[in-house]
Structure 1
Amino acid sequence: MNKIALITGATSGIGEATTIVLAKLGYNTIITGRREERLIKLKATLENEYSIKTLHLCFDIRNQEETLNAINSIPAEWQNIDILINNAGLASGTEKMDDVRWDKWQQMIDTNITGLLFLSKEIIKFMVKNQSGHIINISSIAGINVYEGGSVYCATKHAVNAITQGMRIDLLKHNIKVTSIAPGMVETEFSLVRFGGDQQKADDVYKGVTPLSAQDIAETIEFVVTRPAHVNINDILIMPTQQANAYYTNRG
Protein backbone atom coordinates (compact mmCIF):
# COMPACT_ATOMS: atom_id res chain seq x y z
CA MET A 1 0.00 0.00 0.00
CA ASN A 2 1.39 3.40 -1.03
CA LYS A 3 2.28 5.93 1.64
CA ILE A 4 0.65 9.37 1.54
CA ALA A 5 2.30 12.80 1.41
CA LEU A 6 0.55 16.18 1.70
CA ILE A 7 2.34 19.11 0.08
CA THR A 8 1.23 22.73 0.52
CA GLY A 9 2.01 25.29 -2.15
CA ALA A 10 2.25 22.52 -4.74
CA THR A 11 1.33 24.65 -7.74
CA SER A 12 4.86 25.84 -8.50
CA GLY A 13 8.50 25.94 -7.45
CA ILE A 14 9.68 23.84 -4.52
CA GLY A 15 6.22 22.44 -3.83
CA GLU A 16 5.69 21.19 -7.37
CA ALA A 17 9.20 19.76 -7.67
CA THR A 18 8.89 18.01 -4.30
CA THR A 19 5.53 16.53 -5.26
CA ILE A 20 7.06 14.98 -8.38
CA VAL A 21 10.01 13.58 -6.42
CA LEU A 22 7.68 11.98 -3.88
CA ALA A 23 5.50 10.58 -6.67
CA LYS A 24 8.60 8.96 -8.17
CA LEU A 25 9.20 7.36 -4.76
CA GLY A 26 5.69 5.88 -4.93
CA TYR A 27 3.83 8.22 -2.57
CA ASN A 28 0.20 8.98 -3.21
CA THR A 29 -0.05 12.75 -2.96
CA ILE A 30 -2.44 15.32 -1.55
CA ILE A 31 -1.59 18.58 -3.30
CA THR A 32 -2.82 21.96 -2.11
CA GLY A 33 -2.73 25.51 -3.38
CA ARG A 34 -4.82 28.49 -4.47
CA ARG A 35 -4.61 27.96 -8.26
CA GLU A 36 -6.95 25.12 -9.08
CA GLU A 37 -6.09 24.93 -12.78
CA ARG A 38 -2.47 24.21 -11.85
CA LEU A 39 -3.50 21.61 -9.28
CA ILE A 40 -5.64 19.82 -11.86
CA LYS A 41 -2.79 19.86 -14.39
CA LEU A 42 -0.30 18.54 -11.83
CA LYS A 43 -2.73 15.83 -10.71
CA ALA A 44 -3.05 14.59 -14.30
CA THR A 45 0.75 14.55 -14.73
CA LEU A 46 1.31 12.63 -11.51
CA GLU A 47 -1.31 10.00 -12.17
CA ASN A 48 -0.42 9.52 -15.84
CA GLU A 49 3.37 9.50 -15.53
CA TYR A 50 3.96 7.93 -12.10
CA SER A 51 0.91 5.67 -11.64
CA ILE A 52 0.08 7.06 -8.21
CA LYS A 53 -3.17 8.46 -6.82
CA THR A 54 -3.56 12.19 -6.23
CA LEU A 55 -6.10 14.24 -4.31
CA HIS A 56 -6.13 17.99 -4.92
CA LEU A 57 -7.45 20.54 -2.41
CA CYS A 58 -7.84 24.14 -3.55
CA PHE A 59 -7.88 26.69 -0.71
CA ASP A 60 -6.08 29.74 0.66
CA ILE A 61 -3.99 28.67 3.65
CA ARG A 62 -4.46 32.15 5.15
CA ASN A 63 -8.17 31.47 5.55
CA GLN A 64 -8.77 29.20 8.54
CA GLU A 65 -12.33 28.31 7.52
CA GLU A 66 -11.23 27.30 4.01
CA THR A 67 -8.33 25.32 5.44
CA LEU A 68 -10.48 23.49 7.97
CA ASN A 69 -13.15 22.69 5.36
CA ALA A 70 -10.49 21.33 3.01
CA ILE A 71 -8.90 19.12 5.67
CA ASN A 72 -12.30 17.89 6.85
CA SER A 73 -13.10 16.91 3.25
CA ILE A 74 -10.20 14.43 3.10
CA PRO A 75 -11.74 10.95 2.70
CA ALA A 76 -10.96 8.36 5.37
CA GLU A 77 -8.73 6.38 3.00
CA TRP A 78 -6.50 9.46 2.57
CA GLN A 79 -6.14 10.36 6.24
CA ASN A 80 -3.15 8.14 7.07
CA ILE A 81 -0.77 10.92 6.07
CA ASP A 82 2.88 9.88 6.41
CA ILE A 83 4.57 13.11 5.32
CA LEU A 84 3.52 16.76 5.59
CA ILE A 85 5.56 19.26 3.57
CA ASN A 86 4.82 22.77 4.86
CA ASN A 87 6.05 24.58 1.78
CA ALA A 88 3.46 27.35 1.25
CA GLY A 89 5.04 30.70 2.01
CA LEU A 90 5.95 34.07 0.53
CA ALA A 91 7.68 37.40 0.93
CA SER A 92 5.92 40.63 0.01
CA GLY A 93 8.02 43.68 -0.74
CA THR A 94 11.36 44.95 0.55
CA GLU A 95 10.19 48.15 2.23
CA LYS A 96 11.83 49.16 5.48
CA MET A 97 10.04 49.29 8.82
CA ASP A 98 9.12 52.97 8.46
CA ASP A 99 7.72 52.58 4.95
CA VAL A 100 5.81 49.31 4.73
CA ARG A 101 2.11 48.63 4.26
CA TRP A 102 0.36 46.68 7.01
CA ASP A 103 -1.42 44.45 4.49
CA LYS A 104 1.96 43.13 3.28
CA TRP A 105 2.98 42.30 6.84
CA GLN A 106 -0.34 40.61 7.46
CA GLN A 107 -0.08 38.57 4.26
CA MET A 108 3.33 37.21 5.28
CA ILE A 109 2.31 36.50 8.87
CA ASP A 110 -0.94 34.81 7.86
CA THR A 111 0.74 32.63 5.22
CA ASN A 112 4.10 31.80 6.76
CA ILE A 113 3.09 31.44 10.40
CA THR A 114 -0.66 31.24 11.00
CA GLY A 115 -1.38 29.10 7.93
CA LEU A 116 1.45 26.70 8.70
CA LEU A 117 0.32 26.34 12.32
CA PHE A 118 -3.34 25.84 11.62
CA LEU A 119 -2.87 23.27 8.86
CA SER A 120 -0.19 21.43 10.85
CA LYS A 121 -2.51 21.21 13.86
CA GLU A 122 -5.13 19.41 11.79
CA ILE A 123 -2.71 17.00 10.10
CA ILE A 124 -0.92 16.24 13.37
CA LYS A 125 -4.20 14.76 14.64
CA PHE A 126 -3.92 12.03 12.00
CA MET A 127 -0.24 11.42 12.75
CA VAL A 128 -0.79 11.19 16.50
CA LYS A 129 -3.53 8.64 15.90
CA ASN A 130 -1.08 6.56 13.87
CA GLN A 131 1.86 7.25 16.22
CA SER A 132 4.04 8.01 13.22
CA GLY A 133 4.71 10.67 10.61
CA HIS A 134 7.21 13.19 9.32
CA ILE A 135 6.73 16.97 9.12
CA ILE A 136 9.11 18.98 6.95
CA ASN A 137 8.93 22.76 7.32
CA ILE A 138 10.47 24.86 4.56
CA SER A 139 12.23 27.73 6.30
CA SER A 140 14.88 30.05 4.85
CA ILE A 141 18.25 31.66 5.40
CA ALA A 142 15.97 34.54 6.45
CA GLY A 143 15.16 32.48 9.51
CA ILE A 144 18.83 32.66 10.51
CA ASN A 145 20.02 36.08 9.26
CA VAL A 146 17.99 39.31 9.29
CA TYR A 147 18.62 41.70 6.41
CA GLU A 148 17.59 45.21 5.41
CA GLY A 149 14.11 45.44 3.98
CA GLY A 150 13.15 41.99 5.19
CA SER A 151 12.38 42.44 8.87
CA VAL A 152 8.88 40.94 8.94
CA TYR A 153 9.60 38.22 6.39
CA CYS A 154 12.70 37.29 8.39
CA ALA A 155 10.61 37.32 11.58
CA THR A 156 8.15 34.86 10.04
CA LYS A 157 10.95 32.48 9.07
CA HIS A 158 12.57 32.81 12.51
CA ALA A 159 9.14 31.79 13.80
CA VAL A 160 9.13 28.75 11.51
CA ASN A 161 12.46 27.67 13.02
CA ALA A 162 11.11 28.08 16.56
CA ILE A 163 7.88 26.27 15.68
CA THR A 164 9.89 23.42 14.17
CA GLN A 165 11.95 23.01 17.33
CA GLY A 166 8.83 23.12 19.48
CA MET A 167 7.08 20.57 17.28
CA ARG A 168 10.06 18.26 17.52
CA ILE A 169 9.90 18.31 21.33
CA ASP A 170 6.11 18.10 21.62
CA LEU A 171 5.72 15.28 19.10
CA LEU A 172 8.71 13.21 20.23
CA LYS A 173 6.51 10.89 22.30
CA HIS A 174 4.34 10.21 19.24
CA ASN A 175 7.25 9.00 17.06
CA ILE A 176 6.77 11.90 14.66
CA LYS A 177 9.88 13.24 12.92
CA VAL A 178 10.23 16.99 12.37
CA THR A 179 12.72 18.58 9.96
CA SER A 180 13.55 22.15 8.95
CA ILE A 181 15.07 22.89 5.55
CA ALA A 182 16.40 26.43 5.15
CA PRO A 183 17.45 27.38 1.61
CA GLY A 184 19.39 30.41 0.48
CA MET A 185 18.71 31.82 -2.99
CA VAL A 186 16.33 29.57 -4.93
CA GLU A 187 15.15 30.69 -8.36
CA THR A 188 11.38 30.09 -8.38
CA GLU A 189 8.40 32.46 -8.45
CA PHE A 190 9.48 33.69 -5.00
CA SER A 191 11.15 36.93 -6.10
CA LEU A 192 8.52 37.60 -8.75
CA VAL A 193 5.86 37.48 -6.03
CA ARG A 194 7.99 39.55 -3.67
CA PHE A 195 8.31 42.33 -6.25
CA GLY A 196 4.65 42.31 -7.26
CA GLY A 197 5.25 40.72 -10.67
CA ASP A 198 8.18 42.95 -11.69
CA GLN A 199 10.25 40.50 -13.74
CA GLN A 200 13.29 42.79 -14.00
CA LYS A 201 13.58 43.20 -10.24
CA ALA A 202 13.11 39.47 -9.78
CA ASP A 203 15.85 38.70 -12.30
CA ASP A 204 18.24 41.15 -10.61
CA VAL A 205 18.11 39.12 -7.39
CA TYR A 206 20.00 36.29 -9.11
CA LYS A 207 22.24 38.41 -11.37
CA GLY A 208 25.76 37.00 -11.49
CA VAL A 209 24.80 34.00 -9.34
CA THR A 210 23.90 30.42 -10.12
CA PRO A 211 21.10 29.99 -7.57
CA LEU A 212 19.62 26.84 -6.21
CA SER A 213 16.74 25.35 -8.14
CA ALA A 214 13.47 23.93 -6.89
CA GLN A 215 14.82 20.53 -7.93
CA ASP A 216 17.82 20.97 -5.61
CA ILE A 217 15.49 21.42 -2.65
CA ALA A 218 13.23 18.57 -3.75
CA GLU A 219 16.23 16.23 -3.93
CA THR A 220 17.26 17.35 -0.45
CA ILE A 221 13.79 16.46 0.79
CA GLU A 222 14.14 13.09 -0.96
CA PHE A 223 17.28 12.43 1.08
CA VAL A 224 15.53 13.40 4.31
CA VAL A 225 12.45 11.21 3.80
CA THR A 226 14.43 8.17 2.70
CA ARG A 227 16.47 7.88 5.90
CA PRO A 228 15.81 4.78 8.06
CA ALA A 229 13.07 4.93 10.68
CA HIS A 230 15.58 5.51 13.49
CA VAL A 231 17.17 8.54 11.77
CA ASN A 232 15.78 12.09 11.76
CA ILE A 233 17.52 14.96 10.00
CA ASN A 234 16.73 17.88 12.29
CA ASP A 235 17.94 20.88 10.28
CA ILE A 236 19.47 21.55 6.89
CA LEU A 237 20.87 24.92 5.71
CA ILE A 238 21.47 24.72 1.97
CA MET A 239 23.05 27.50 -0.08
CA PRO A 240 24.31 28.19 -3.60
CA THR A 241 28.09 27.91 -3.78
CA GLN A 242 28.26 31.67 -4.48
CA GLN A 243 26.32 32.60 -1.33
CA ALA A 244 27.81 32.46 2.18
CA ASN A 245 24.80 33.82 4.07
CA ALA A 246 22.09 36.47 3.68
CA TYR A 247 24.72 39.23 3.46
CA TYR A 248 27.61 37.86 1.40
CA THR A 249 27.26 36.81 -2.21
CA ASN A 250 29.98 36.42 -4.83
CA ARG A 251 28.41 37.77 -7.99
CA GLY A 252 30.81 36.66 -10.66
Structure 2
Amino acid sequence: MSNILDSEAGSELFGSYEAELKLVQADLNQKLDQIPELAGEPRKAAVRQAERALEEANELLDQMRIEKQNIPAPAKSKVNQRFRNFESDVDALKRRLKSLSDDREALFGSRYTDNPTADDQLEQRQQLLSGTDRLERSSGRLRESQRIALETEDIGRNTLADLSRQRETIVHTRDTLGESEGYTDRSIKTLRGMARRMATNRIITIAIITVLVLLIIAVIVSKFR
Protein backbone atom coordinates (compact mmCIF):
# COMPACT_ATOMS: atom_id res chain seq x y z
CA MET A 1 0.00 0.00 0.00
CA SER A 2 2.88 2.34 0.78
CA ASN A 3 4.43 1.71 -2.66
CA ILE A 4 1.12 2.56 -4.38
CA LEU A 5 0.79 5.80 -2.46
CA ASP A 6 4.41 6.71 -3.22
CA SER A 7 3.81 6.06 -6.93
CA GLU A 8 0.67 8.19 -7.04
CA ALA A 9 2.42 11.02 -5.16
CA GLY A 10 5.37 10.78 -7.54
CA SER A 11 3.07 11.01 -10.58
CA GLU A 12 1.28 14.08 -9.22
CA LEU A 13 4.55 15.79 -8.29
CA PHE A 14 6.06 15.03 -11.71
CA GLY A 15 2.97 16.51 -13.36
CA SER A 16 3.25 19.69 -11.31
CA TYR A 17 6.94 20.07 -12.27
CA GLU A 18 5.99 19.46 -15.89
CA ALA A 19 3.36 22.21 -15.86
CA GLU A 20 5.75 24.62 -14.15
CA LEU A 21 8.51 23.84 -16.68
CA LYS A 22 6.17 24.65 -19.58
CA LEU A 23 5.55 28.08 -18.07
CA VAL A 24 9.28 28.65 -17.59
CA GLN A 25 9.97 27.59 -21.19
CA ALA A 26 7.36 30.00 -22.51
CA ASP A 27 8.86 32.84 -20.43
CA LEU A 28 12.39 31.95 -21.57
CA ASN A 29 11.34 31.90 -25.22
CA GLN A 30 9.81 35.34 -24.81
CA LYS A 31 13.01 36.70 -23.23
CA LEU A 32 15.16 35.20 -25.99
CA ASP A 33 12.95 36.79 -28.65
CA GLN A 34 13.53 40.20 -27.07
CA ILE A 35 17.33 39.97 -26.78
CA PRO A 36 18.18 40.51 -30.51
CA GLU A 37 16.34 43.83 -30.41
CA LEU A 38 18.50 45.14 -27.54
CA ALA A 39 22.09 46.29 -27.13
CA GLY A 40 24.43 47.38 -24.34
CA GLU A 41 23.11 47.41 -20.77
CA PRO A 42 19.47 46.49 -21.64
CA ARG A 43 20.77 43.50 -23.59
CA LYS A 44 22.98 42.37 -20.69
CA ALA A 45 20.04 42.67 -18.31
CA ALA A 46 17.86 40.62 -20.67
CA VAL A 47 20.59 37.97 -20.95
CA ARG A 48 20.86 37.73 -17.16
CA GLN A 49 17.10 37.31 -16.87
CA ALA A 50 17.20 34.58 -19.51
CA GLU A 51 20.06 32.86 -17.66
CA ARG A 52 18.01 32.86 -14.45
CA ALA A 53 15.03 31.39 -16.33
CA LEU A 54 17.30 28.72 -17.87
CA GLU A 55 18.69 27.93 -14.42
CA GLU A 56 15.15 27.48 -13.10
CA ALA A 57 14.34 25.21 -16.06
CA ASN A 58 17.40 23.05 -15.30
CA GLU A 59 16.42 22.83 -11.63
CA LEU A 60 12.95 21.65 -12.62
CA LEU A 61 14.51 19.05 -14.92
CA ASP A 62 16.63 17.81 -11.99
CA GLN A 63 13.52 17.46 -9.82
CA MET A 64 11.65 15.71 -12.63
CA ARG A 65 14.60 13.33 -13.11
CA ILE A 66 14.31 12.31 -9.45
CA GLU A 67 10.52 12.09 -9.31
CA LYS A 68 10.14 10.04 -12.49
CA GLN A 69 11.77 7.16 -10.62
CA ASN A 70 8.54 6.89 -8.57
CA ILE A 71 6.32 6.62 -11.66
CA PRO A 72 4.60 3.19 -12.03
CA ALA A 73 6.21 0.90 -14.61
CA PRO A 74 3.25 0.90 -17.09
CA ALA A 75 3.45 4.71 -17.47
CA LYS A 76 7.22 5.11 -17.14
CA SER A 77 7.99 4.80 -20.88
CA LYS A 78 5.66 7.68 -21.78
CA VAL A 79 7.01 9.78 -18.92
CA ASN A 80 10.60 9.11 -20.00
CA GLN A 81 9.76 10.18 -23.55
CA ARG A 82 8.16 13.41 -22.31
CA PHE A 83 11.18 14.03 -20.10
CA ARG A 84 13.59 13.55 -23.03
CA ASN A 85 11.54 16.00 -25.08
CA PHE A 86 11.78 18.57 -22.30
CA GLU A 87 15.54 18.00 -22.05
CA SER A 88 15.90 18.49 -25.79
CA ASP A 89 13.82 21.69 -25.70
CA VAL A 90 15.83 23.11 -22.80
CA ASP A 91 19.12 22.22 -24.53
CA ALA A 92 17.93 24.06 -27.64
CA LEU A 93 17.07 27.11 -25.54
CA LYS A 94 20.46 26.88 -23.87
CA ARG A 95 22.26 26.86 -27.25
CA ARG A 96 20.16 29.77 -28.41
CA LEU A 97 21.00 31.77 -25.30
CA LYS A 98 24.69 30.93 -25.69
CA SER A 99 24.60 32.16 -29.28
CA LEU A 100 23.04 35.43 -28.17
CA SER A 101 25.48 35.75 -25.25
CA ASP A 102 28.48 35.20 -27.54
CA ASP A 103 27.53 38.29 -29.56
CA ARG A 104 29.82 40.39 -27.41
CA GLU A 105 29.68 43.55 -29.47
CA ALA A 106 25.90 43.71 -29.13
CA LEU A 107 26.13 42.55 -25.51
CA PHE A 108 28.74 45.07 -24.30
CA GLY A 109 28.09 47.81 -26.85
CA SER A 110 30.85 50.26 -27.77
CA ARG A 111 32.83 49.33 -24.65
CA TYR A 112 33.73 45.92 -26.11
CA THR A 113 37.27 45.66 -27.54
CA ASP A 114 39.84 42.91 -27.92
CA ASN A 115 41.72 44.61 -25.06
CA PRO A 116 39.08 45.12 -22.37
CA THR A 117 39.52 47.86 -19.81
CA ALA A 118 39.78 47.27 -16.08
CA ASP A 119 36.07 48.01 -15.67
CA ASP A 120 35.21 45.48 -18.38
CA GLN A 121 37.42 42.87 -16.75
CA LEU A 122 35.81 43.54 -13.38
CA GLU A 123 32.34 43.19 -14.85
CA GLN A 124 33.25 39.97 -16.63
CA ARG A 125 34.77 38.64 -13.41
CA GLN A 126 31.58 39.50 -11.51
CA GLN A 127 29.50 37.69 -14.11
CA LEU A 128 31.77 34.66 -13.81
CA LEU A 129 31.45 34.69 -10.03
CA SER A 130 27.68 35.02 -10.33
CA GLY A 131 27.56 32.01 -12.66
CA THR A 132 29.76 30.02 -10.28
CA ASP A 133 27.49 30.93 -7.36
CA ARG A 134 24.43 29.73 -9.28
CA LEU A 135 26.20 26.50 -10.15
CA GLU A 136 27.09 25.92 -6.48
CA ARG A 137 23.47 26.53 -5.44
CA SER A 138 22.26 24.05 -8.05
CA SER A 139 24.83 21.50 -6.88
CA GLY A 140 23.72 22.05 -3.28
CA ARG A 141 20.09 21.43 -4.20
CA LEU A 142 21.08 18.28 -6.08
CA ARG A 143 23.11 17.03 -3.11
CA GLU A 144 20.14 17.69 -0.83
CA SER A 145 17.86 15.70 -3.15
CA GLN A 146 20.36 12.84 -3.13
CA ARG A 147 20.54 12.97 0.67
CA ILE A 148 16.75 12.79 0.94
CA ALA A 149 16.71 9.87 -1.50
CA LEU A 150 19.32 8.00 0.57
CA GLU A 151 17.38 8.68 3.79
CA THR A 152 14.21 7.38 2.15
CA GLU A 153 16.09 4.26 1.04
CA ASP A 154 17.36 3.70 4.61
CA ILE A 155 13.84 4.08 5.99
CA GLY A 156 12.60 1.54 3.43
CA ARG A 157 15.31 -0.96 4.41
CA ASN A 158 14.55 -0.52 8.11
CA THR A 159 10.84 -0.99 7.46
CA LEU A 160 11.48 -4.20 5.53
CA ALA A 161 13.72 -5.45 8.35
CA ASP A 162 10.99 -4.69 10.93
CA LEU A 163 8.40 -6.49 8.82
CA SER A 164 10.71 -9.50 8.52
CA ARG A 165 11.18 -9.63 12.30
CA GLN A 166 7.44 -9.29 12.87
CA ARG A 167 6.81 -12.14 10.44
CA GLU A 168 9.28 -14.35 12.32
CA THR A 169 7.52 -13.48 15.59
CA ILE A 170 4.11 -14.34 14.12
CA VAL A 171 5.40 -17.67 12.77
CA HIS A 172 6.99 -18.52 16.13
CA THR A 173 3.74 -17.61 17.95
CA ARG A 174 1.74 -19.77 15.56
CA ASP A 175 4.09 -22.72 16.15
CA THR A 176 3.83 -22.21 19.91
CA LEU A 177 0.03 -22.18 19.71
CA GLY A 178 0.14 -25.41 17.68
CA GLU A 179 2.27 -27.06 20.38
CA SER A 180 -0.08 -25.77 23.07
CA GLU A 181 -3.06 -27.25 21.24
CA GLY A 182 -1.24 -30.59 21.13
CA TYR A 183 -0.61 -30.45 24.89
CA THR A 184 -4.26 -29.55 25.48
CA ASP A 185 -5.50 -32.49 23.40
CA ARG A 186 -3.26 -34.91 25.31
CA SER A 187 -4.43 -33.45 28.65
CA ILE A 188 -8.07 -33.87 27.66
CA LYS A 189 -7.44 -37.52 26.68
CA THR A 190 -5.68 -38.15 30.02
CA LEU A 191 -8.57 -36.59 31.99
CA ARG A 192 -11.10 -38.65 30.09
CA GLY A 193 -9.13 -41.85 30.87
CA MET A 194 -8.98 -40.91 34.55
CA ALA A 195 -12.74 -40.23 34.56
CA ARG A 196 -13.43 -43.66 33.03
CA ARG A 197 -11.19 -45.39 35.59
CA MET A 198 -12.91 -43.53 38.46
CA ALA A 199 -16.34 -44.56 37.16
CA THR A 200 -15.17 -48.18 36.89
CA ASN A 201 -13.73 -48.12 40.42
CA ARG A 202 -16.97 -46.67 41.74
CA ILE A 203 -19.03 -49.43 40.15
CA ILE A 204 -16.69 -52.07 41.58
CA THR A 205 -16.92 -50.48 45.06
CA ILE A 206 -20.73 -50.41 44.93
CA ALA A 207 -20.80 -54.08 43.87
CA ILE A 208 -18.51 -55.10 46.74
CA ILE A 209 -20.62 -53.20 49.28
CA THR A 210 -23.78 -54.80 47.90
CA VAL A 211 -22.29 -58.30 48.21
CA LEU A 212 -21.17 -57.59 51.79
CA VAL A 213 -24.64 -56.33 52.73
CA LEU A 214 -26.24 -59.44 51.25
CA LEU A 215 -23.81 -61.67 53.14
CA ILE A 216 -24.56 -59.89 56.42
CA ILE A 217 -28.29 -60.26 55.85
CA ALA A 218 -27.81 -63.93 55.04
CA VAL A 219 -25.82 -64.51 58.28
CA ILE A 220 -28.44 -62.74 60.36
CA VAL A 221 -31.29 -64.76 58.83
CA SER A 222 -29.45 -68.05 59.38
CA LYS A 223 -29.07 -67.32 63.10
CA PHE A 224 -32.81 -66.91 63.68
CA ARG A 225 -33.70 -70.28 62.08
TM-score normalized by structure 1? 0.28
Structure in which a larger fraction of residues adopt strand: 1
TM-score normalized by structure 2? 0.30
